[in-house]
Amino acid sequence: MPQPRSTFIRPLFAVAMVAASTIYAIAQQPPSPTRVRGTIEAVDGDVLAVKSRGGEDFRLRMAKDMNLLGITRISLSDIKAGSFIGTTTVPGPEGANNAVEVHVFPENMRGTGEGSRPFDLRPNSSMTNATVDQSVAGNDGHTLLIKYKDGEKKVLVSPETPVVTYVPADKSELKAGAKVIAFFKKLPDGSFEANRISVGLNGLTPPM
């Protein structure tokens, strides 16, 4: 005698529910971190102990071919038409793009990450790497018209906005107390390897 159709449907439904629950659980898991902003707590050979701005502890082994850059403060007046910059912006009144920070790339880094995309520095922030087309001074700072391959954006840079640039740095700058932004990957053994670090020079906290 044929078995009721529901006898077959129930197991299939159960399997589908388990699969859906598993997919949902995976989707809810936070992504593995690949960048940490924080302070070097200690240096042990080629391993940096870094405490993130959120209070998490990381141990980062420096890769042999690690790219190390220093970050130093410059003046807003150092930004010229033709400068290739990166800037973190947040929405302002009447559709304005208010700069949280601006970093000027040296000529050998021109074109790095060109474009505009969401960023994780602040809620609703975005990162735009682009060429300065115009810089207009006003009572409340400078308005930069920046252009990239897919568009353009007007950015308001106030006198209080930190402006920095990248410079060569030595590993001696990677010491306890230094503020860093470290990019890393997770190795098969579960450890973290830093392949790029930007370190604030002279006590500077990288603003990006």
- Residue 121 and residue 116: Cα distance in Å, rounded? 14
Tens of pLDDT, residue by residue, the chain (208 residues) = 555 544 444 444 443 343 333 333 333 344 455 999 999 999 999 999 999 999 999 999 999 999 999 999 999 999 999 999 999 999 998 888 999 999 999 999 999 999 999 999 999 999 999 999 999 987 778 999 999 998 999 999 999 999 999 999 999 999 999 999 999 999 999 999 999 999 999 999 999 9
Coil, helix or strand for 120? coil
Instruction: Give me the residue spans of the domains in the chain.
Output: 36-71+166-203, 77-162
> Which of these CATH numbers, 3.40.50.620, 3.90.1150.10, 3.40.50.1360, 2.40.50.320, describes 36-71+166-203?
2.40.50.320
Of the candidates 123, 131, 34, the one whose C-alpha atom is nearest the C-alpha of residue 87 is 131
| Cα distance between the two ends of the chain | 71
Whether this prediction's pTM lies above 0.75 is answered by yes
Of the candidates 177, 142, 167, 200, the one whose C-alpha atom is nearest the C-alpha of residue 49 is 177
Long-range contacts of 91-96 (CB under 8 A, 24+ apart): 91/124, 92/156, 96/154, 96/156
Q: How buried is residue 102: exposed, middle or buried, by Cβ count under 10 Å (0-12/13-18/19+)?
A: buried
